[in-house]
Amino acid sequence: MFCREQAVQLHRERDAIRRKGADLVFVGNGNRRFARGFRDEFAIEAPIYVDPELVAYRALEFSRPVLGLLNPKVWVAGARALGGGARQGAIQGDAFQLGGVLVVRKDGTVAYRFASATAGDHPPVTEVLAAL
């Protein structure tokens, strides 16, 4: 549900992202079959890659709190996502692994980094766009 909310929000801004000289790229931790289903269901036009071994997630220090789903902030975020029209699908990947957003320039400089502290903790889209 949360990942759908975030993906849809940022995907809506893909043209604005391109106009600012950047490309939108998704990385998920499920397998390729799950990723294809995700792409098709939401008509995602941006590239999608998978990292089922969580190698990049670990290297970029995105957290994986095993008890994270018990955090009350997650339930608040869930209500927000449901209110916005998101729905929970079958979990297709590692439910405990949290994600984040990076803006990386051509020379490898990280212009922006957001690491989710809980499920449903996403950066404001305006904040991401402002980093471009």
Partner 1 sequence: MKLGKDVAALKVQDLDGGERALGETWRERTAVLVFLRHFG
The residues binding partner 1 (CB under 8 A) are 1-4, 6-7, 10, 17, 20-30, 32, 34-39, 47-52, 55-57, 59-60, 62, 88-95, 97-111, 113, 116, 119, 128, 132
Both tokens of 23, joined, read 């490309």
Cα-based distances in Å from 43 to 22, 37, 39, 47, 58: 20, 10, 6, 11, 28
Q: To the nearest whole angstrom, how small is the minimum distance from the Cβ of residue 83 to partner 1?
A: 19
Query: Are 1 and 88 within 8 A, CB to CB?
Result: yes
CA-based nearest residue to 50, from 66, 37, 61, 68: 37
Q: Which of 23/83 has CB closer to partner 1?
A: 23
Q: To the nearest whole angstrom, how small is the minimum distance from the Cβ of residue 79 to partner 1?
A: 17
Q: To the nearest whole angstrom, how small is the minimum distance from the Cβ of residue 75 to partner 1?
A: 15
Q: Which of 71/92 has CB closer to partner 1?
A: 92
Both tokens of 47, joined, read 């590239």
Q: To the nearest whole angstrom, how small is the minimum distance from the Cβ of residue 119 to partner 1?
A: 6
